[in-house]
A and B are shown apart, each in its own frame.
Chain A
Amino acid sequence: MRPAAPKILVVNGRSVRLTAADRRKNLLDFLREDLDLTGAKRGCGIGVCGACTVLADNRPLRSCRTLVADVLGRRLTTIEELAAPDGSLHPLQRAFIDAGAIQCGYCTPGMVLTAHAFLLKHPEPSRAEARRAISSNLCRCTGYQQIIEAILAAAPAYKKKE
Chain B
Amino acid sequence: MKEKAWRNDAEAKVTGRARYTDDLKIAGMLHAVPVYGDDVHAKIVAVDTEAAAKSKGVVRVVTARDVPGGNRGGQILKDVHVLADDKIRYHGDVAAVVVAVTRPQAVAAARRVCVFVEPLPEILDPDEALAPGAPLVHEEHGTNLIHRHVIHRGDVARGFAESAFVVEEEFRTPFVEHAYLEPEAALCHVREDGVVEVRGSMQHPYSTRRFVAEFLGLPLARVEILGTPMGGGFGGKDDTAALVCARTALAALLTGRPVKMTYDREWSMRESYKRHPYRMRYRMGVGADGLIRAVRCRIVADGGAYCSVSPWVTWRSTVQCCGPYVVPHVDGEVSSVYTNHVFTGAMRGFGSPQVNFAVEQLVEIAAERAGLSGVEFRRRNMVRRGSTTITGQVLEGHAVSMSEVLDRVLAASGYEEKLARSSRGRGEGDYYGIGLAMSYRGVSLGAEGTDVCAAVVSVQFDGSVLLEVGVHENGQGAESAMILLLAEELGVDRGAIVYRRPSTSSVPDSGTTVASRATIMGGGAVSRAAAEVRRQMAGAVADDLGCRPEEVRFVGGRLTAPGGRSVGFAEAAQRLYRNQKYPYALGVFPAPHVDWDESCGQGRAYFTWVYGCQAVELAVGRRTGRIKLLNAWAAHDVGRAVNRASLLGQFYGGMAMGAGYGLFEEAVMEEGRPCSLNFDTYRIPRSTDLPEMTAIIVENRDPLSPSGAKSIGEPSNEIMAPAIANAYYHATGRRCLRLPVGGGK
Contact = CB atoms under 8 A, between A and B. Distances in A.
Contacts of A106: 20, 180-182, 231-232, 475
Interface stretch (B58-66, B213-221, B686-694): B686-694
A80 B19 CA distance: 13
A97 interface: yes
Given A131-B687, A132-B687, A43 B181 contact: yes
Contacts of B411: none
B232 A141 contact: yes
B179 A140 contact: yes
B5 interface: yes
A63 interface: no
A157 interface: no
A78 B262 CA distance: 22
Interface stretch (B546-554, B580-588, B646-654): B646-654
A83 B13 CA distance: 12
B656 A143 contact: yes
B745 interface: no
B143 to A, nearest CB: 36
B20 A100 contact: no
Given A131-B687, A140-B179, A109 B16 contact: yes
Contacts of A105: 9, 12-14, 18, 229, 231, 475
B693 A145 contact: yes
Contacts of B234: 140
A131 B687 CA distance: 6
A78 B23 CA distance: 15
Contact of B657 (A48, A108, A140): A140
Contacts of A140: 178-181, 232, 234, 653, 657, 684
**Chain B residues touching A, majority SS:** loop
B543 interface: no
| Chain A interface main SS type | loop
A83 B10 CA distance: 14
B629 to A, nearest CB: 11
Contacts of A39: 15-17
Interface string A117-134: 000000000010001101
Contact of A100 (B22, B183, B645): B645
A68 interface: no
B255 interface: no
Interface centre among A41, A97, A104 (most CB of B within 10 A): A104
B15 A80 contact: yes
Contacts of B182: 41, 43, 104, 106
A44 B678 contact: yes
Interface in B216-248: 229-232, 234
A32 B19 CA distance: 11
B623 interface: no
B181 A41 contact: yes
B701 interface: no
Interface in A18-70: 32, 37-46, 48-49, 51
Interface string B421-432: 000000000000
Nearest to B264: A45
Given A97-B14, A98-B5, A112-B14, A141 B475 contact: yes
Given A100-B5, A104-B230, A109-B16, A138 B181 contact: yes
A127 B180 CA distance: 26
Contacts of A109: 14, 16
Nearest to B266: A45
Given A46-B679, A103-B475, A141-B653, A135 B687 contact: yes
A140 to B, nearest CB: 5
Contact of B645 (A83, A89, A146): A146
Contacts of B231: 41, 43, 104-107
B4 interface: yes
Interface string B613-656: 00000000000000000000000000000000110110111111
Given A105-B13, A139-B181, 18 more contacts: A38-B20, A41-B181, A43-B679, A44-B680, A45-B264, A46-B680, A82-B15, A89-B11, A99-B5, A100-B648, A102-B14, A103-B476, A108-B14, A135-B688, A140-B234, A141-B476, A143-B654, A143-B655
Interface of A: 32, 37-46, 48-49, 51, 78-80, 82-83, 89, 93, 96-100, 102-109, 112, 127, 131-132, 134-148
29 contacts: A41-B20, A41-B231, A43-B679, A46-B678, A46-B680, A48-B678, A48-B679, A49-B679, A51-B181, A79-B16, A89-B14, A97-B10, A103-B477, A104-B230, A105-B9, A106-B182, A112-B14, A135-B688, A139-B687, A140-B180, A143-B649, A143-B657, A143-B685, A144-B690, A145-B690, A145-B692, A146-B649, A146-B652, A148-B687
Of all A-B residue pairs in the complex, the 6 with the closest CB atoms, nearest first, are: A39-B16, A104-B475, A100-B645, A106-B231, A105-B13, A143-B656
